Amino acid sequence: MQSLEAELTAARDLSIADLADAIESIGFECTRCGDCCTSHGDEAHTATVFPDEIRDLETAERGVDAAVRSGKTNLVPPPEDREWRDVARPMPYGLTEGADGLEGETFEWALQTDGCGDCAFYTEIDGTGACTAHDDRPLICRTYPFSVGLDGTSQPMGEAVDSVSLPGHEGDDEAGSVHAHECEGLGRDISRADAEALAATLKERAIRELEEAIGVRDSYEPVTPNAGEVVVHDSEGAKRLDGTPLEGD
């Protein structure tokens, strides 16, 4: 496995044209079914969100009054009342269930969910899925159902249902490929302009994931959480559930 720095260089060198070719060959059109924003069985919606994306969502306007029109106004307060915990929760991986709930250390933030396990920003209007912060949605949401296959990039969306190797990486899907994950919109026609726009965002996400991973690695200092306490390590250091730094305790 290459170093994260080498993978970051590879991500920065990705060709948007090659990524767009792969997206075009797979095909995609969003049907607004909502499957990528909702829970599945007992598994809550889990989507990685970076610290700066959380801050953007803290102040994001609720687009086209979607929350009001659907009646979903209680879970995501208006920007003037919104806090870190309204937007993000600790990634559950690595945490254990203690007497007072989840506890331990984890290394990412996930979008906050509602009581049904759906993304707190998801709603439905007349049976059609909608995001109440669509213009400020995180990179992982902007690029679903695609991901880039590089050693240092994460694959938080489950197993790939299709993969296309990028030029120079034929037969090596983990070192240079575009993965497609389960979505009813796959296989549909996509314009070249839309494929290139999606490819550019997909490249941005691959770079950001690696930059975040390097930041987490470089800022990580082990801590021993108290009983019932969760500590989240991100690229900015260790944080409490409300997003404030742990340092100084």
What was the pLDDT predicted at 42? 79
* pLDDT tens per residue, range 103-157: 999 999 999 998 889 999 988 877 788 888 888 999 999 999 999 987 645 555 6
- Pick the closest to residue 141 from 27, 63, 37 (CA basis): 37
Between 65 and 96, the more confident residue is 96
Q: What letter does residue 74 receive in the DSSP assignment?
A: S
Q: Quote the mean pLDDT of the chain.
A: 87
CA distance 161 to 106: 28
Give residue limits of the domains in the chain: 12-88+111-209
Please say whether the beta carbons of 56 and 50 come within 8 A.
Answer: no
Query: Taking 60 as the threshold, does the pLDDT of residue 64 lie above it?
Result: no
